[in-house]
Amino acid sequence: MLKASIVVPVYNAGEYIDRCAPSLTGQTIGPDAYEVIYVDDGSTDDSAQRLARLAEEFPHVRVHEQENSGWPGKPRNVGIRLARGAYVHFVDQDDELAPDALERLHALAVRNGSDIVFGKAHGEMQGPGNIFRHTRERCSVQDTELFETLTPHKMFRRDFLLEHGIEFPEGRVRLEDQLFLARAYPLARTVSILGDRPVYHWQRRGDGGNNSSRPPSPEDYYGHLRNVVRAVKERSEPGEVQDRMLRRNYRVEILRPVTEPRVLQRTGKQLERHFRIVRDLAREEFPPGVAAGLPGIAGLRAHLLEQGNLDGLVALGRRSQDIRLRVEVGAARWHGGRLTLPLRVWLAHADGSPVTLARQDDGRLLLDPGLLADIPGQDTWEVKDPFAYAHGEVLVKDPRQTLYWYPENDLRPRLEDTGDGRCHVVLAADTVIDPLTLAGGGPLDPGRYELWLDVQSLGVGRRPRVTLPASARSAGHPGRHAARLAIVGTPPRMVVAGWNGPGGQLQLRVSPPQKTSLRRAVLMRAAADERLRSPAKAVFRRLPPSARAHLRRTLRPDV
């Protein structure tokens, strides 16, 4: 038996076949260990000819042709049945795999007897997801939020799929990916996650040919979402775990049409149509514990939806759209080759005042009355757990690959008094960035990296840039926030942390390992040592111009 089969549904892929094929046919696991199965779903362009040339050139490539079914579901099911590998990995026709993807995913699967293996993805259609923060050998829906990733571009044990009759819906079915995973996740005993290096490159087609690029009608979309919810309930017992599995769908698909900006963009019958559809689905299919576990403002939205209070949802949307994330950045500093960045963040209104909670004599916390002022019939809203789903993290983004890495020390929530019997949720941490281990335990590649924040608090999510404080920007100089240089590793790498991105965004610039003389290494490390920087500047200013120019050339990183 082969170790793995790659299954690729194809429809009018054209040049994308040739563009993506090398990443599939040249896997380091070796051509005798795997196969690539292209299932042509009745293409009307030259895809069949391109696939035939691939099959002729590569013995481990197989092509199956069939009449058009209209969607990727049937081609994937056919691929499962045709597969000769112990594991099946689904790849879209316009995406690519890292050269060692199968080798690493299969090794992780065999080591743990995994039913499903997630591989870290990156690309134009992939946002950050901290489920890929670290490699995890073994997990399941019991202890991990698997439903935070609902694309099928993963590796599955073929016998697991066959034993449980897990298939994709066939025909033009929206959310077919979610339905497939809703059938698989609850039944998987062991799931492994490869998070230390990206293995799947998700690309957006320049011609807009990705299936998910075309919007459906709300009746069609939410009708298929109903099937997803039912699939989860059919394969799990009522209770906390089931509620957690369904909460992502409620938070995203159900609440999205009644949350800003969409609740403010739609008007009249169009808004009422979406409101009616999602309200009916929420009331008919989701257990009460799903909405009850939503935090703060998200919980209030769910309550207003349940009550049929569309005017209240619009009013809340108007108030919430102005909520910003206030970010307080301390002085970044290098120590032992690691950058420490002190951060405090909190939600604030447009005027800069914090979004507060009012303390009651009986210990309850009530949501900021300013958010409730225009909501008919809703004078107060209790926030039972101000820390529910409250979380913040720094994202180090490689913009060349749309790839995210996650530093140490996430932001943790606490309550801070603001006076007058009120408090607010503050998330804080000294985030630590180690350029030598940040990229899945290894060093960052040479290049430029952007720092972002991803914060959830009181049911509100914000993802701003980490920027130079306004006071420093208005002063015209960064002061204590000035750029910081470090020399790390052997051979030495130069890493500069500077506020030179858009809006004063903090960026890291990493040089390649320097092939350097002992003299240059000493000079580089002296320049990076804060204790020596001021004396070195004084000496530098006294040097003649020719000597200063020579020193600059010596210290220039080879970026």
Same domain membership, residue 102 and residue 10: yes
Indicate whether 558 pLDDT > 60. no
Residue 501, in any domain of the structure: no
> Residue 538 has what pLDDT?
65
> Residue 303 has what pLDDT?
98
Domain boundary residue, one of 213, 229, 253: 213
* Counted domains in the chain: 3
Same domain membership, residue 350 and residue 292: no
Q: Classify 382 as helix, strand or coil.
A: strand
Same domain membership, residue 224 and residue 208: no
> Residue 521 has what pLDDT?
55
Same domain membership, residue 442 and residue 397: yes
Same domain membership, residue 375 and residue 485: yes
Q: Which of 30-39, 129-138, 495-504, 525-534 bottoms out in mean pLDDT, i.e. has the lowest?
A: 525-534
Same domain membership, residue 168 and residue 23: yes
Name residue 510's beta-bridge partners: 447, 495
If we measure between CA atoms, which residue out of 223, 127, 136 comes closest to residue 172? 223
Q: What is the DSSP letter of 477?
A: S
Spatial separation of the C-alpha atoms in residues 301 and 498, rounded to whole Å: 40
Task: Compute the mean pLDDT over every residue in the chain, rounded to the nearest whole number.
Answer: 91
Residue 542, in any domain of the structure: no
Domain boundary residue, one of 296, 320, 344: 320
> Residue 549 has what pLDDT?
73
Residue 312, in any domain of the structure: yes
Structure confidence at residue 126 as a pLDDT band (50, 70, 90): low
Residue 89, in any domain of the structure: yes
Whole domain around residue 462: which residue ranges?
325-489
If we measure between CA atoms, which residue out of 314, 276, 324, 316 comes closest to residue 296? 316
Same domain membership, residue 296 and residue 203: no
Same domain membership, residue 348 and residue 299: no
Structural contact between residues 259 and 300, judged by C-beta atoms closer than 8 angstroms: no
Indicate whether 127 pLDDT > 80. no
Same domain membership, residue 123 and residue 63: yes
> Residue 178 has what pLDDT?
97
List CB contacts of 210: < 8 A, sequence separation 6 or more: 92, 94, 125, 204
Q: Name the CA radius of gyration of the chain, rounded.
A: 27
Structure confidence at residue 537 as a pLDDT band (50, 70, 90): low
Q: What is the DSSP letter of 251?
A: I
If we measure between CA atoms, which residue out of 192, 99, 107 comes closest to residue 154? 192
Structural contact between residues 135 and 194, judged by C-beta atoms closer than 8 angstroms: yes
Quick one: average pLDDT of 354-367? 97
Quick one: average pLDDT of 214-224? 90
> Residue 518 has what pLDDT?
43
Other Cβ atoms less than 10 A from the Cβ of 220: the count is 14
pLDDT tens-digit series, residues 230-262:
999 999 999 999 999 999 999 999 999 999 999
> Residue 516 has what pLDDT?
58
Structure confidence at residue 203 as a pLDDT band (50, 70, 90): confident
Round to the nearest angstrom and report the end-to-end CA distance of the chain: 47
Same domain membership, residue 267 and residue 197: no
If we measure between CA atoms, which residue out of 65, 61, 67, 113 comes closest to residue 86? 113
Name residue 201's beta-bridge partners: 96, 122
If we measure between CA atoms, which residue out of 519, 521, 518 comes closest to residue 492? 521
Spatial separation of the C-alpha atoms in residues 433 and 54, rounded to whole Å: 44
If we measure between CA atoms, which residue out of 255, 353, 350 comes closest to residue 295? 255
Residue 482, in any domain of the structure: yes
Indicate whether 170 pLDDT > 90. yes
If we measure between CA atoms, which residue out of 395, 391, 406 comes closest to residue 345? 391
Cα–Cα–Cα angle for 36, 39, 41, rounded to 5 degrees: 160
Structure confidence at residue 479 as a pLDDT band (50, 70, 90): low
Structure confidence at residue 205 as a pLDDT band (50, 70, 90): low
Indicate whether 50 pLDDT > 60. yes
Residue 511, in any domain of the structure: no
Structure confidence at residue 98 as a pLDDT band (50, 70, 90): very high
Residue 496, in any domain of the structure: no
Q: What is the DSSP letter of 444?
A: P
Q: Which of 94-103, 425-434, 507-516 bottoms out in mean pLDDT, i.e. has the lowest?
A: 507-516
The CATH number linked to 19 is 3.90.550.10
> Residue 491 has what pLDDT?
87
Domain boundary residue, one of 213, 243, 263: 213
Same domain membership, residue 367 and residue 341: yes
Same domain membership, residue 329 and residue 238: no
Residue 383, in any domain of the structure: yes
Spatial separation of the C-alpha atoms in residues 421 and 316, rounded to whole Å: 24
pLDDT tens-digit series, residues 369-428:
999 988 998 999 999 999 999 999 999 999 998 999 999 999 999 999 999 999 999 999
Structure confidence at residue 211 as a pLDDT band (50, 70, 90): low
Helix (H) or strand (E) holding 485: strand 484-488
